[in-house]
Amino acid sequence: MAEQTMKAIRFHENGGAEVLVLEDAPRPAPGEGEVLVRVHAAGVNPVDSAIRRGSFGSATLPGTPGLDLAGVVEAVGPGVTAFAPGQMVFGNGRGCYAEYALASAAALALKPANVSFDEAGSVGVGARTAWGGLFEVGGLQAGQRLLVHGAAGGVGIYAVQLGKWKGAEVVGTASAANFDLVRSLGADTVIDYNATRFETMVEDADMVFDTVGRETQERSWQVLKPGGILVAITGRPSEEMAQQHRVRLGRVGPTSAPPDVMQRIAELLEKGLLRTVIRKVFPLSEAREAQILSETGHGAGRIVLHVN
Ligand SMILES: NC(=O)c1ccc[n+]([C@@H]2O[C@H](COP(=O)([O-])OP(=O)(O)OC[C@H]3O[C@@H](n4cnc5c(N)ncnc54)[C@H](OP(=O)(O)O)[C@@H]3O)[C@@H](O)[C@H]2O)c1
């Protein structure tokens, strides 16, 4: 049988956004436990640019970026019973900047009807990372004080909402342009990081959830109460600093969230307890522009590639 092809964004060498090209590529086939999804929307994450640059070592080339998708199940691999062709799904996949992409069945959930494909495609990495960091790594409890750095970002928007859902007091840092958004997500207090040093306003925090890193991270130890925890999704926080301040350090990775996290996120989206924020939608052919915008590190919510 002739190999089936699809349109995909690919890079044949590591480098800047200019290495991304839209071209024909082989359509992947689902293996054991995998689902082939006809992609309608793909989320653009900062890590996509890092992978493109080769920051995580030598990946197989050519590569197709993209870890977030929403679309329709085209086919399922051996052993997959949870999904069937024709179902609308969203979650984490790989090579999602393409007309078709593979996902582990465990990393998908049915797309709630009240959420569009573009919206659903923006959710996966952000919501998974926030859930894993707040609840699994950090053990956030009702009544605790949570400081979220980068509260308007693609991960921060979920950290704020999930923190409130859990019953925590939530303080977020954002630039003035994103103030109203962060408040609308439920934050009790928003601090304009350009105008006010957060450490003059926050003390005795049970948790800092840091999506920003660098100097913001270094200044965060002092706002934690003894025994509190700095949960970092970026940067290189030191165990020594944690010990000096008599607090704990937690690092978040792709496996920090529980296996059924996408189902739980889907339930919250369906009930209107969680929502996404889209910064901008680009057509698949403008993946370069989308990644360049993502690389600014500023702006509210997640960038999405509209594929289909
Ligand atoms: N460990 C993991 O598993 C994991 C998972 C996902 C992401 N990450 C990493 O986490 C980082 C954030 O990811 P993301 O997707 O949330 O990025 P993003 O969507 O680009 O959001 C970044 C946010 O940070 C805000 N910001 C920038 N400087 C700030 C400061 N000094 N204080 C407070 N807020 C500031 C920006 O808001 P303004 O527009 O208001 O400046 C923007 O909303 C990236 O480095 C990413 O690679 C790690």
- Residue 251 Cβ inside 6 Å of ligand 1? The answer reads no
- Averaged pLDDT of the chain: 97
Ligand 1 mean position, distance from CA 213 (Å):
9
Residue scoring higher pLDDT (236 or 35): 35
Over residues 99-108, mean pLDDT: 98
Q: What is the pLDDT of residue 57?
A: 77
Cβ–ligand 1 distance for 232 under 6 Å, the answer no
Percent share of the chain, pLDDT over 70? 99
The more confident residue out of 51 and 57 is 51
In a domain, residue 170? The reply is: yes
For residue 202, the domain's CATH number is 3.40.50.720
How far apart CA 188 and CA 186 sit, in angstroms, is: 6
Residue 271: C-alpha distances to residues 35, 123, 156, 274, 275 (Å) = 26, 15, 20, 8, 10
User: Using an 8 Å Cβ cutoff, are 304 and 282 in contact?
Assistant: yes
Does the reported pTM lie above 0.85? yes
SS3 205: strand
Domain range holding 85?
5-123+276-306
- Phi and psi dihedrals of 165, rounded to 5? -60, -35
**Residues 147 and 247 grouped into a single domain:** yes
Query: Is 1's pLDDT higher than 60?
Result: no
Q: How many domains does the chain have?
A: 2
Residue 58 is predicted with a pLDDT of 67
Asked if residue 271 belongs to a domain, the reply is: no
What's the CATH code of the domain at 283? 3.90.180.10
The verdict on residue 202 lying in a domain is yes
Q: Output the pLDDT for position 60.
A: 86
CA geometry: angle 217, 66, 39, nearest 5 deg: 140
> What's the mean pLDDT in 252-270?
97
**57 Cβ contact list (under 8 Å, min separation 6):** none
Residue 269 domain flag: no
Q: Residue 57 falls within a domain, yes or no?
A: yes
Residue 2: CB partners within 8 Å, gap ≥ 6? none
CA of 184 relative to ligand 1 center, distance in Å: 19
Does ligand 1 come within 6 angstroms of the Cβ of 133? no
> Is residue 232 within 8 Å of residue 252, measured between CB atoms?
yes
Encoded tokens for 112: 């709630």
Residue nearest to atom 20 of ligand 1 (CA): 297
CB of 156 within 6 A of ligand 1: the answer is: yes
Question: Which ligand 1 atom sits nearest the alpha carbon of residue 256?
Answer: 3
Split at pLDDT 50, 70, 90, the class of 56 is confident
Q: Report the nearest atom of ligand 1 relative to the CA of 252.
A: 1
Residue 264 lies in a domain: no
